[in-house]
Structure formats: structure tokens, C-alpha cells
Amino acid sequence: MTILADRKRIAIVTGGSRGLGRSTVVNLAKRGVNSIFTYNFSYTEAQAVATQADDVGAKAIPLRLDVGAIDSFEAFVADVRDALSKMEAERFDYLVNNAGISNHTAFAKVTEAELDELFKVNFKGPFFLTQKLLPLIADGGQIVNISSGVTRFVNPDSIAYATLKGAVEVFTRYLAHDLGPRNINVNTVAPGAVQTDFSGGVVRDNPVVNELVSKMTALGRPGVPEDLGQMIASLLSDANHWVNAQRIEVSGGMRL
């Protein structure tokens, strides 16, 4: 069995400048893990995350990436190699495919353009980005793909989004099988409703939605980014390496 070298671990986290991704980068930093993380729009937000990581003694390098722009992945991999060089490394250890977009259009009104965009960002992007990064992932490493609670329970007007997240979960199981010979484990983390700016910040900013989610959650509140960031950071440890090909829901017991 391949054991990761005794060195500072390195993660790649997509969508790491906000929400769950940001919390993941910061909580990995608290555990001594350096990160290369992506942002799409705000370099200022990305720099703030890098500063947070630095404050707890870890390095976090932001790189711009649109995960729906598959033709940019070759250039991104080159940027990753440069970032690894700055960390005096040739390989990274953990990949968190977190970046994504939502959609709440009723089935009868979903357009081809909407479905194509969801496919590009939420499935095709993570699929081919993982493929492109495989030569740089250390044997014995770990991959986490972010799905959603709505693959288990049904939310109104989420059919397109949930369907593509379901594809991510199937991808996870097949990838775990295919990467087993390299001792790389692959799992899905499925958040419930979380108070971020995802979906326009509706869970965080709309009191009616916030209360509704609280009433249907066993632990009595919507999630916050820290709930997910801490869990993902803990999952990405040697202690959890035997956990493989699993869908782990992190929802506080939503819609039980």
C-alpha cells in the first residue's frame, strides 16, 4: 500500500473563495494542509482566503478558473504545476470538486441552454478536470466530490440540478473503483441547505425559507459553511482513508 510522503499535504479546492469552499480551505489550513484553490470572479475574496490560511500557518494560492470552460484546463494544469513548484512539491494529495451552480426552474420550463450550463459546470467540468489532474495526484491521495441532499429527497423545481448531482454520485463510485490500484479513495459529500450565497443566498437571507428548513431538520437549523468545511477537512485525513465510494450527507438530519 502506498503511504503519502512525510511532508506537508496539499489540497486543490475548486470554488474556494466563498462558502463551503472557503471554509474547506481554512479548515484544512488549521490542520496544516496547504491549498491551491480556484475562484471565478473576485480576486479580492480569494486573497482574503489566502490571508486567513496564512494567519494559521498554511499557504493557500488562488488560481482563476471557470470549471465550465473545459478548453482552459490545460492552461490551468500548467498553473497548478507552477503553484506546486512554489510549495516545493511535484504532486498534490487531495482534490475537492466543490465549484458549482444551482438551478430552480420547473421541469416544464427548463431550457436546453440551462441544462447545458448545469452539465458543463456541475458534471462535465469536474469529470474532465479530475482527468487532467490525475497525473499530479499523489498515490494514496483522496478525492471529494460535492453533491447535494436533493439527490435523496425531492425539492420543488430542482429536477435539473438534482439530476446532474446524481451523475456526480455515480461518477464518484466508478472513480473509486478505477483509482483503487493507486490507493486513491473517492467519496461524495452531500450538503443539505446551507446559509451561503448559493442560490442567491435564499437560505441565509430569506427568513421564511430559513424557518422552513429549520423545521424540517432534526438538529433544528440550516447548515453554515463551517459545518461542511470542518467535516471535509476531517474526512481528508489518513484516519478516514478506508472510507471509500461513499455518499456522506451533511445536513443535520434534513427531511428524515
**Other residues' Cβ atoms within 10 Å of the Cβ of residue 71:** 7
In a domain, 255, yes or no: no
Q: What is the DSSP letter of 144?
A: E
> What pLDDT sits at residue 54?
97
Mean pLDDT of the chain: 95
In a domain, 158, yes or no: yes
What is the arithmetic mean of pLDDT over 9-35?
97
Residues near 193 by beta carbon (within 8 Å), at least 6 away in sequence: 149, 203, 213, 217, 222, 223, 251, 254
In a domain, 38, yes or no: yes
Q: Which amino acid is present at 107? A: F
Residues 11 and 236 sit within 8 Å (Cβ to Cβ): yes
- Tell whether the model's pLDDT for residue 5 goes beyond 70: no
Domain around 180: 10-250
Please identify which residue in the block is written with the cell numbers 440550516: 222
> What pLDDT sits at residue 203?
80
Q: Quick one: what percent of the chain has pLDDT higher than 90?
A: 90
The 10s digit of each residue's pLDDT in 101-154 is 999 999 999 999 999 999 999 999 999 999 999 999 999 999 999 999 999 999
In a domain, 4, yes or no: no
> What pLDDT sits at residue 4?
58
- Tell whether the model's pLDDT for residue 1 goes beyond 50: no
**Other residues' Cβ atoms within 10 Å of the Cβ of residue 119:** 17
Candidate from 46-50, 195-199, 247-251 with smallest mean pLDDT: 195-199
In a domain, 118, yes or no: yes
**Alpha-carbon gap, residue 117 to 255, rounded angstroms:** 28
CA dihedral 174, 177, 179, 185 (to 10 degrees): 90
- Tell whether the model's pLDDT for residue 223 goes beyond 80: yes
The CATH number of whichever domain residue 67 belongs to comes to 3.40.50.720
Give, in degrees to the nearest 5, the angle at Cα 103 between 41 and 228.
Answer: 65
Residues near 145 by beta carbon (within 8 Å), at least 6 away in sequence: 97, 126, 168, 169, 171, 172, 175, 186, 187, 188, 189
- Tell whether the model's pLDDT for residue 156 goes beyond 80: yes
In a domain, 256, yes or no: no
DSSP H helical segments within the chain, as ranges? 19-30, 43-55, 73-86, 112-118, 125-133, 159-179, 202-205, 207-215, 225-235
What is the arithmetic mean of pLDDT over 48-69?
98
What is the arithmetic mean of pLDDT over 185-204?
87
**Alpha-carbon gap, residue 179 to 165, rounded angstroms:** 21
> What pLDDT sits at residue 6?
61
Give Cα separations from 75 to 69, 85, 133 (angstroms).
11, 16, 12
Q: How many domains does the chain have?
A: 1
Residues 209 and 1 sit within 8 Å (Cβ to Cβ): no
